[in-house]
Amino acid sequence: LDEVSKKSSLHPKPAGLVLQYGTAGFRTNAKQLDHVMFRMGLLATLRSKKTEATIGVMVTASHNPEEDNGVKLVDPMGEMVTPTWEGYATQLANAEQEDLLAALKDVIEKEAINMSQEANVFVGKDTRSSSASLSQAVLDGVSALGGHSKDYGLVTTPQLHYMVCCQNTQGKYGEATVEGYYKKLCQAFIQLTNNASNCTDDQKHLSVDGANGIGALKVREMESHLKKELHISLFNDGSKGKLNHQCGADFVKVQQNAPTGIKINPGERGCSFDGDADRIVYYYIDSEGQFHLLDGDKIATLISTFLKELLTQAALDLKIAVVQTAYANGSSTHYLEDTMKVIVRCTKTGVKHLHHAAQEFDIGVYFEANGHGTVLFSKAAEEKIQQLAENPGADDERKRAALLLQNTVNVINQTVGDAISDMLLIEAILAIKGMTIQQWDAIYSDLPNRQLKVKVSDRRVIDTTDAERRAVSPAGLQEAIDSLVKKYRQARSFVRPSGTEDVVRVYAEAETQESADDLAHEVSLAVY
C-alpha cells in the first residue's frame, strides 16, 4: 500500500469536494475527476481480486457536454457494478487525501479481499479531450495496487462491456477484441439480411448521426464488415462539430426534433447515437416536413413483435416480456399488453433495474424510452433455439425461424444497450419484414408528452414508490398531481428526482400536445 500513498499524491483530491456514484457512475466537470479516476483504478483492482475476474472501467460522460466526463465500473459478466460496490466507490472518491489508505483498507477488510490474488482491469475511453489523461489516471490506480491492465483506448461503452464479458467467459461470448466484435455482429447481420431477398438498395440506406462522438468512429471502422448490406451515410462524425452539441440521441429525444448537421430526404430513415453509443433513436421527416420520432418504446415494440412471430413460427414455448420504465409512452404499454399480449414490466429508471427484471424471462426485451436497451436470452432459451436450428429432422419453416432467432442472439449485445448492435438488429428486422419506417411508426401512435426539469433546493425530499410512478413525500404532492391529471383526457403524470443531474424531472402525457404541455407545467409548479 506504500505505492498507493506515493502515487495518489500525483492525483490529489480537492479538499471538501463530494461526489456521488449515481445512476451511471460519477459524472461532472472533467476538471474535478482526476482523483476519482485514480481511485476507481484502485477499486476496480480490488473488485477484480474479489471476483477473481476481469473488471472494466469506462471513462465517459455519455450525452453530457464535452467539458464533462465520468466513469463507470463494469462487473464480470459485462453488467453494471453491484450496489454495495457503488457505495464503496462513493466512499473512496470522497475520502480526503490523508484518509485514502484507511478507506481502502476498510473495503479490503469488509470484503475480506485476498491481496495476493491477481487482478485484471480493462479500460476504455470516449473521444472527449479530457478522456486521455483521465484514463491514464485509472491505469495509474490499477498499477499502484499491482494489477494488470489492458487499455482498449477509444471504444464505445457497450464495446467495453462486451470485451469484459468475452474475457470472463473464456471466449464463449466472442473474442475480446474490437475486430472480433465487428466480425460477430456483422456476420449475424448479414445472415439475417440473407432472408430479405427482395430488399432494394434504397431500402438498405440509413443516415446516422454519430453525435460527434465515439460511435461515429466505430461505425466507420465497422463499415467494411457490412459487405454493402447496409449503406450508411454518416453525419456529425466529429470532424467539425462539438460532441453532443445540437445532436445525438438525447438532444433528439428531448427536443423531439432532428439533429443539426444531418441531411435526410423526406421519408428516409435516420438514427442518432449518444456520446458513448449506448443509446439510439430513429426518426424520419414526412412529405409535409413534420418530424417523427421512433424512440426506445417503438424499438422495443418492433423487436418484440419480430421475436414473438419467430417463436410462433418455430413453435418454441418461450416466455417473452418487455421491460419499461415510467417514461414509456402509455400507448406503447397498451399496445404491448392488449394487442401483442406480451408481459410488460415497469421498473425504476436506470439500466441496471431494467436489466435485472429482464433476466427473469426466457427472452427479456428492455428499453428506456430514451433509446437505451437490449434483449436478454436465458441460457435455456439459447439452448432450445440452437437445438432446433441444428435439428436435421425439423421442418423448414421451424428451422428457418430458429436460424433467424440464432442470428438475432448473435447480433444483439446482451451485456448492455448498444447503439451499433441495436441499429443492426433494427435494420435487419425492417429488411426481413420489408417494412418502411412509416409502417413501423404506424404500429401505434404515441400519446403527446412533455418532459420538464425543475430546479429545487433539495431534490431528495421527493420520495417515490411503484416504480417511481407515485410520490410518497412530500405530503400532499401526489394528491395534487392526481387532481391535476383528472382535468385532462388520457392523462398521466409523475415526478422523480434525477439520478444524474441536480433536478426534479416532470413527465406528463395527454390526449393533445397542448394538454401534455399544460399538465407538465402545472405539475412542475406543484413541485416547488
Supply the residues annotated as catalytic.
62
Task: Report the C-alpha gap between 211 and 249 in whole angstroms.
Answer: 8
Q: Which stretch binds Zn ion (CB under 5 A): 213-221, 252-260, 278-286, 305-313?
A: 278-286
Q: Which does 276 bind (CB under 5 to 8 A by kind): ligand NG1, Zn ion, none?
A: Zn ion
Task: Report the C-alpha gap between 45 and 107 in whole angstroms.
Answer: 12
What minimum distance in Å lies between the beta carbon of 98 and ligand NG1? 33
Q: Which does 180 bind (CB under 5 to 8 A by kind): ligand NG1, Zn ion, none?
A: none
Q: Are strands 68-74 and 54-59 parallel, antiparallel or unpaired?
A: antiparallel
What minimum distance in Å lies between the beta carbon of 137 and Zn ion? 21
What minimum distance in Å lies between the beta carbon of 146 and ligand NG1? 33
Q: Which does 449 bind (CB under 5 to 8 A by kind): ligand NG1, Zn ion, none?
A: none
Return the H-helix or E-strand segment holding 142: helix 131-144
φ/ψ of residue 8, rounded to 5: -70, -25
Q: Which stretch binds Zn ion (CB under 5 A): 26-34, 126-134, 277-285, 349-357?
A: 277-285
Query: What is the CB-side half-sphere exposure of residue 67 using CA atoms within 13 A?
Result: 3
Residue nearest to ligand NG1 (CB): 499
Residue nearest to Zn ion (CB): 62
Amino acid making up residue 77? M
Q: Which does 278 bind (CB under 5 to 8 A by kind): ligand NG1, Zn ion, none?
A: Zn ion
By beta-carbon proximity to ligand NG1, the closer residue of 8 and 370 is: 370
By beta-carbon proximity to Zn ion, the closer residue of 365 and 416 is: 416
What minimum distance in Å lies between the beta carbon of 489 and ligand NG1? 24
Span 47-76, contacts to Zn ion by CB under 5 A: 62
Whether the CB-CB separation of 249 and 281 falls below 8 Å is answered with yes
The C-alpha cell at 497 is 428526482
By beta-carbon proximity to Zn ion, the closer residue of 156 and 449 is: 156
Binding track over 246-275 against Zn ion, x by CB under 5 A: ----------------------------x-
Judged by the rule CB under 6 A, the positions of this chain that interact with ligand NG1 are: 23-24, 62, 327, 349-350, 368, 370, 372, 498-501, 505
φ/ψ of residue 393, rounded to 5: -85, -10
By beta-carbon proximity to Zn ion, the closer residue of 62 and 135 is: 62
Task: Report the C-alpha gap between 125 and 155 in whole angstroms.
Answer: 6
The C-alpha cell at 57 is 472501467
What minimum distance in Å lies between the beta carbon of 451 and ligand NG1? 7
Task: Report the C-alpha gap between 526 and 140 in whole angstroms.
Answer: 48
Task: Report the C-alpha gap between 197 and 202 in whole angstroms.
Answer: 14
By beta-carbon proximity to ligand NG1, the closer residue of 301 and 370 is: 370
Q: Which does 500 bind (CB under 5 to 8 A by kind): ligand NG1, Zn ion, none?
A: ligand NG1
Contact status: 406 vs Zn ion (CB under 5 A): no
What minimum distance in Å lies between the beta carbon of 250 and ligand NG1? 8
Amino acid making up residue 471? A
By beta-carbon proximity to ligand NG1, the closer residue of 302 and 369 is: 369
By beta-carbon proximity to ligand NG1, the closer residue of 349 and 415 is: 349
Determine if the peptide bond prior to 14 is cis (ω within 30°): no
Q: Which residues contact 192 (CB under 8 A, 6 or more apart)?
A: 404, 407, 408, 411, 425, 428, 431, 432
Question: What is Dmax (Cα atoms) for the chain?
Answer: 70
Member of 66, 278, 368, 522 binding Zn ion (CB under 5 A): 278
474: left (phi over 0), alpha (psi -120 to 50) or beta: beta
What minimum distance in Å lies between the beta carbon of 279 and Zn ion? 5
* Residues comprising the chain, all counted: 528
Return the H-helix or E-strand segment holding 398: helix 396-411
Size of the site for Zn ion (CB under 5 A): 4
What minimum distance in Å lies between the beta carbon of 273 and Zn ion? 9
* Nearest residue to 138 (alpha-carbon basis) of 243, 223, 60: 60
* Nearest residue to 324 (alpha-carbon basis) of 336, 314, 316: 336
* Nearest residue to 42 (alpha-carbon basis) of 106, 133, 125, 126: 106
Task: Report the C-alpha gap between 169 and 217 in whole angstroms.
Answer: 27
What minimum distance in Å lies between the beta carbon of 262 and ligand NG1? 21
Task: Report the C-alpha gap between 520 and 16 in whole angstroms.
Answer: 37
Q: Which does 274 bind (CB under 5 to 8 A by kind): ligand NG1, Zn ion, none?
A: Zn ion
- Terminal Cα distance for the chain, rounded: 49
By beta-carbon proximity to Zn ion, the closer residue of 276 and 362 is: 276
By beta-carbon proximity to Zn ion, the closer residue of 278 and 422 is: 278
Binding site for Zn ion (CB under 5 A): 62, 274, 276, 278
